[in-house]
Structure 1
């Protein structure tokens, strides 16, 4: 049972790590967007916006790919833990009835 709690704790840490990575990326995007407000010329804005938008798009795609695979992995781990917990509960019920 302790091992299951340890595995569940690891899973929670993985989720926290994903959220932290996503937050860091959002902060970076916010900084880039705030710098856009300070630009002077229209041509420069258009040029930088195109570069920033493509960078943002690529970053978001990488994050999405990484998160979807990691979230899929976490979901599989959670499913297996739920099955183990259900089996443990079933064993406890069987032992109580004996």
Structure 2
């Protein structure tokens, strides 16, 4: 009877030890999964930020193209006005000399 109780006690202790080992293993797995989730989250944020940056870059390029056209148009108008002013100055000088 005492031997049976000792065997049962040993078996219970073995089961407790197995449960502790299982618990440690589960904690380790949970930590690894947590890190993987964080990695997924970081990778997702990086991808989203890359998309956002790409969109911003494309928008800036479109704005730059539009502004370049506007600036070119403004430059042509300024050039034509400068030519008109130069002709008027030339005419004024000619009239002064007469």
Task: State the TM-score bracket (shorter-chain normalisation).
Answer: 0.5 to 0.7
Q: Which runs of 5+ in 1 are unaligned?
A: 1-40
What is the TM-score of this pair, normalised by structure 1?
0.54
More helix by share: 2
Partner of 1:76: 76
**Number of matched pairs:** 58
Q: CA RMSD of the aligned region, Å?
A: 1.2
Distance in 2 of aligned mates of 1:42 and 1:84: 61
**Structure 1 stretches of 4+ moved >3 Å:** none
What is the deviation of 1:43?
A: 2.4
Q: How does 1:1-98 map to 2 (within 5 A)?
A: 41-98=41-98
Q: Which runs of 5+ in 2 are unaligned?
A: 1-40
**Larger RCO (alpha carbons 8 Å, 6+ apart):** 1
